[in-house]
Structure 1
């Protein structure tokens, strides 16, 4: 099946997927308003087999230390799947399935599958990381760039995390949990009941980012966009909180964005 862009439509919502550009959601339009920052690096890209920064580009699996390219020196960042072309497994009017086979520099064989399902008032993204051979530690998540404004006031970010991961000078969690601080943020937060973050564009739209995962990174230090990133573990999680993918137990994650007009 072609790797050309795929358009999903439901009601007055439209999603464009870009399989060849890292399997990302390139566009999300609601009532004609573009909610995602446009550009080759933006939209919303999947993060796997790790999320956020990996300290010094290194992770340990048992006695073996693996090294990943330092694409955000001195760290490796956001996994490898956003850098490759995904294959279209299935595409219909409101739903599409994309797959990506893990290759070097990732040292283990495996497959990442992403399902996008659109309704008139929601987009659900589901990702699985599978292996048919060696078990390995992994993370999965999403990195959306939401436009800061929709022709008006700045978006407001509303959420009630249980804690904030203290951020060191190297931008990685120190291991200490602190009381959540006021923004601006480039920080990871814990929400044990599941990620629940509301973005409000005053007078226009309210969008809730929901996930059963308990980790979310919020980044709002850029004038054009804000990021709300649900993920299966904190930054550097392959080293501090690894989730093991095995032939009988894939790593699965889901996020749903639900919107309503104001």
Structure 2
């Protein structure tokens, strides 16, 4: 630990975590190979590298609207409040072991007051992230969460997952309609140019790289919705488990495909992400 980052390792996994930078991952490797695009030295998370948490909402809120409340618009070019509050605030280290770290965070930004806890563990076989978010305020509020990883995308990358619906979006990437969809199963012909939301996700997504396959399994609140982003101008792939549809609170006609969760004071939203990686001649085929 260098005062800014924490290193953990277990089995074939090793990771570096930045508690002060939203509790995000700045590097994640399996068997000595990058799973996430490593963050450049000194760079803040949010660029095309690492992974960060989106709490208490995922993706965008149009004009920062949350019922009668207004959240700060931090993406002025499209007039949205994007990716929540937690990624811009530090987390405290509650416990640190060789193979795991427990982080905690208290946020008080009107109208939200919440306590978050995160357990990051490098196991003998898998890498896990366990999240809990508790409404510490005095009134019920809509809550959500998501995880925003920037996976490597070498030539030959493929993705496969099941869903029930695929959204179409406006120019600001806000959903405007949804149509039945089986999900995705393909390579660059299916991926390139996507910044697309899928609902009815079954919680499992497989990313196949030449010689290895990553299986991401989400449970709890994070196992319902998935955002996929594969820009044409850089070799990255974002596969983002989310608890709700982007801007769900402002889109009642689409909200049934992924509503935010109303938490009464003291209630908790929980979710887990497990990563498994296999290597070998058959992996990624």
Shared fold, TM over 0.5 = yes
Aligned equivalent of 2:18? 18
CA distance in 2, matches of 1:243, 1:94: 32
> What's 1:201 paired with?
209
Could you say which residue in structure 2 is the equivalent of 1:227? 238
- Measured in 2, the distance between the counterparts of 1:69 and 1:232 equals 21
Counterpart of 2:200 (choices 191, 199, 223) is 191
- TM superposition score normalised by structure 2: 0.82
Question: Residues 232 and 208 (structure 1 numbering): CA distance in 2 closer, same or farther, change over 3 Å?
Answer: same
Structure 1 residue 178: Cα displacement: 3.8
- In the other structure, the counterpart of 1:47 is 54
Partners in 2 of 1:163 and 1:236 — Cα distance?
16
Which moves more between the two structures, 128-137 or 89-98? Answer: 128-137
- The whole-number CA distance in structure 2 between the counterparts of 1:128 and 1:97 is 11
Structure 1 residue 65: deviation in Å? 2.8
Distance change in 2, residues 1:228/1:127 (3 Å): same
Cα distance in 2 between the residues matched to 1:215 and 1:170: 19
* Structure 1 counterpart of 2:5: 5
1:126 is aligned to 130
RMSD between aligned alpha carbons?
2.1
1:247 to 265, 268, 279: 265
Going from structure 1 to structure 2, the CA distance change for 1:57 and 1:121 (only over 3 Å counts) comes to same
Aligned 8 A contact 1:71 1:77 in 2? yes
Provide, for residues 32-72 of structure 1, a one-character-per-residue CA deviation record: whole Å limited to 9, x for no partner. Answer: 11211122323110110110111122111xxx232322325
Which residue number corresponds to residue 215 of structure 1?
A: 225
Give the 3-state SS of the residue equivalent to 1:82 in structure 2.
Answer: helix
The CA distance in 2 between the partners of 1:5 and 1:248, in whole Å, is 31
Contact 2:19 2:92 in 1 (8 A): yes
Residues 139, 237 of structure 1: 8 Å contact kept = no
Separation of aligned partners in 1, 2:172 and 2:241 = 21
Residues 126 and 208 from structure 1, CA distance in 2 versus in 1: closer, same or farther, beyond 3 angstroms? same
Distance 1:178 1:74, change over 3 A: farther
How many equivalent residue pairs?
253
Q: Which residue of 2 aligns with 1:164?
A: 166
How far did 1:3 drift?
Answer: 6.0
Please give the TM-score of this superposition, normalised by the length of structure 1.
Answer: 0.89
1:58, 1:128 → 2: CA distance?
A: 24
Alpha-carbon distance, 1:5 to partner: 1.5
Q: Find out whether 1:75 has 2:86 as its counterpart.
A: no
Give, in whole Å, the separation in 2 of the partners of 1:87 and 1:198. 32
Preserved CA contact (<8 Å) 2:73 2:79: no
> Greater CA deviation, 168-177 or 24-33?
168-177
